[in-house]
Amino acid sequence: MDSQVTDIKRPIAGAGIVVVRGDEVLVIQRGKPPYEGEWSIPGGKIEYGETSREAALRELREETGVTARIVGLIDVIDSIGAREAGTPGDWHYLLVDYAAIWVSGEPVPDDDVTDAAFLPVKDAIARTRWDRTRDVIGRAVEMVAALSEPQSRA
């Protein structure tokens, strides 16, 4: 049996971040495939030796110039897509999405995004097409709201 295996396809690890500022959420418009032109949350590939948290915060800074404090893990999601005729290859991303609270900075699109903005939660959800993105936005808003609720004493 040949000890060398070639052309093994594996998922690509990525990290995303939902940044909440008051009653607004940060969204970006992607500038590269596979979701070019789509509105989403900031995020991208996890680099070798980098934690998913570090990657989420780095991508946030690179794509928008915004800084935030992560408050929790929302979910780990698979994004699997088959290529359409005449387009680049298939993909499989494993996305680690975090909820965060805005710390500083106003969004300025950079790196591989064409637009970035804080929008009211309802508008941010309406702009995103993928149901999983809409879901993580909603869950992040709930997580952040729960942090500010007074804790009942038993």
pLDDT at 86: 62
Instruction: Provide the CATH number for the domain formed by 12-82+89-146 in this structure.
Output: 3.90.79.10
Write out pLDDT tens, residues 12-34: 999 999 999 999 999 999 998 76
* Confidence tier at 73 by pLDDT (50, 70, 90): very high
Residue 84 vs residues 2, 18, 36, 81: alpha-carbon distances, Å: 33, 29, 14, 9
What lies within 8 Å, CB to CB, of 152 at 6+ separation is none
- Does the pTM exceed 0.75? yes
Q: Which has the higher per-residue pLDDT, 41 or 153? A: 41
* Confidence tier at 81 by pLDDT (50, 70, 90): confident
For range 72-81, the mean pLDDT? 93
pLDDT at 36: 87
Task: Give the mean pLDDT of the chain.
Answer: 90
Domain ranges of the chain: 12-82+89-146
For range 77-91, the mean pLDDT? 75
φ, ψ of residue 143 to 5 degrees: the values are -60, -45
